[in-house]
Structure 1
């Protein structure tokens, strides 16, 4: 049964956030993407849209001062939060215990960089109440690293089944773009390797402190099996990178160096049932996988 964030439980207000920032002598920085949610209704909206179950272990990246963490503690069985800023990481458990007494066994805070964290780091530090590795990611991701963080975590944690992340609106649109769209590109295709992603709504600037200059978007995703292919993920991703490095060129031209020549590229594309005159922006993840597979088959002959 899905949990719904209780409106009876207190969540952090703007005054609470500023008080915590004063305690830590914290000055939010753009470098770490520190924009804290100060609106409890936005937190409830995010948690409800994430469809977190009361039996789930949730991974949160960039918990900051704890706005979303409290909402997730209300909804989930356990929460693992990864925070890169040492003083902020050190304070989070205290804040959660103050607002949700008795929840210590349901929260683990890992001080570290989500771009470098491993599945073992997360599993080994799992909260006492967790029955297994995280099955969901729910996070307000730093704008400047949102895409690489998402791709890294999905690669590290095959246990992830679904999630919802808040990112820069432009990034949200790219992550959820479909083939043929002008904004369809590398993030769109690589995300599709792991999951089906949909745009779940827009979040304005006034719910943050400090307020960012741009709006945010919510990306909801459900994990899917990667395409059945003899090629590795790295091989498929290389094709994607090369196809979009020169997105105005046809695939025959864009992949010519990688394939060995324009003729070789055309032969691979035809064998993969892809039009050599097409551009990368019209291909889905299955088609990119077939191209990589044909290259892999050719190279092993």
Structure 2
């Protein structure tokens, strides 16, 4: 997110008063960060939320414990957090006994985070690794702790709202063992990620995420738990990875069709994909070309991509055979 807020007193940049304690806030055992803690840590580190990185810090222990609970994190879970900020959610994750890696793009925040853990939960310091990188640039070579594909891990994060969807799709593509996630995003983004075919907000993010598995809404988060308080609503999205759908070639072909179909979503598939889909592919896939992309499921996009690949392979084979025949003649 990238909005700013003021306390009811009107003092610019002030941290809102501590939210009223919730039942969730009383269920944990550690000291999690409240508004006063956030105010002090930010001041000590010379940190203020920036629009550049879409930063809004959670100041309510009950909210971060709720996120961790919805994500089913326990001592055996290996967690990746993107955008830990001042450590509100980080502490709630570590409180469970989990081992985790936090990827933070902002150098001052990345440098400060281990000190915050050492102060509030010193016994957990050995279970946290902090990486100062842009999440869009990380892969197994940068995060070797997640490189073993036989060991699943989960993403739990309050994602920067301006890049939430690219981060999710990039991590799912690069880490086949990213088995699940529970993320907080802008409500409109959550709606799109979990939308079904035929819904007016069903689009490219909805279908591409469906390639990897099944997503769903997991609740709404109030604005008063953030500093600065945003001007948009927030929501939780849960995800569970499904069976592999096919090769990298098939994924790339499917995603090209999705991009083309939703790039001209008002047009029929025949019109939107006329430069992409060869004659006969719609019939081979069993799809009516007068439909629009917003009505297709991920399985139908995959079927169409398979048909395109098969027809192109057949055409290439025919061209090669003809060339070889001409050469022999």
Q: Same fold (TM over 0.5)?
A: yes
Structure 1 residue 154: Cα displacement: 0.8
Structure 1 residue 23: Cα displacement: 1.1
Q: 1:209 aligns with which of 227, 232, 256?
A: 227
Q: Cα deviation per residue 1:2-58 (whole Å; 9 max; x = unaligned)?
A: xx9952311100111111111111121111011000011101111111111321110
Q: 2:164 aligns with which of 126, 146, 157?
A: 146
Give distance in 2, aligned partners of 1:98 and 1:115: 30
Assess if the C-alpha contact under 8 Å between 2:207 and 2:298 holds in 1.
Answer: yes
Q: 2:260 aligns with which of 222, 237, 242?
A: 242
Structure 1 residue 198: Cα displacement: 0.4
Q: 1:220 aligns with which of 235, 238, 250?
A: 238
Aligned to 2:310: 297
2:178 is paired with a residue whose SS is: coil
2:303 is paired with a residue whose SS is: helix
Structure 1 residue 230: Cα displacement: 8.8
Aligned to 1:33: 54
RMSD: 2.1
Indicate how the Cα distance of structure 1 residues 46 and 87 shifts in structure 2: closer, same or farther if over 3 A, else same: same
Give distance in 2, aligned partners of 1:133 and 1:98: 31
Aligned to 2:117: 96
Aligned to 1:194: 212
Structure 1 residue 233: Cα displacement: 1.1
Give distance in 1, aligned partners of 2:248 and 2:309: 8
Runs of 4+ in structure 1 over 4 Å off: 228-231
Indicate how the Cα distance of structure 1 residues 256 and 224 shifts in structure 2: closer, same or farther if over 3 A, else same: same
Tell me the matched-pair count: 290
Structure 1 residue 226: Cα displacement: 3.5
1:257 is paired with a residue whose SS is: coil
TM-score, scaled relative to structure 2: 0.84
Give distance in 2, aligned partners of 1:9 and 1:124: 26
Assess if the C-alpha contact under 8 Å between 1:59 and 1:134 holds in 2.
Answer: no
Task: Say which one has the larger Rg.
Answer: 2
Give distance in 1, aligned partners of 2:26 and 2:119: 18
Q: Cα deviation per residue 1:236-271 (whole Å; 9 max; x = unaligned)?
A: 1000000000001110111001125xxx2xx21111
Assess if the C-alpha contact under 8 Å between 1:231 and 1:292 holds in 2.
Answer: no
Structure 1 residue 76: Cα displacement: 4.4
Give distance in 2, aligned partners of 1:228 and 1:117: 23
Q: Establish whether residue 269 from structure 1 lines up as the match of residue 277 from structure 2.
A: no
Q: Cα deviation per residue 1:180-226 (whole Å; 9 max; x = unaligned)?
A: 11110000000001120000111111100001100101001111124
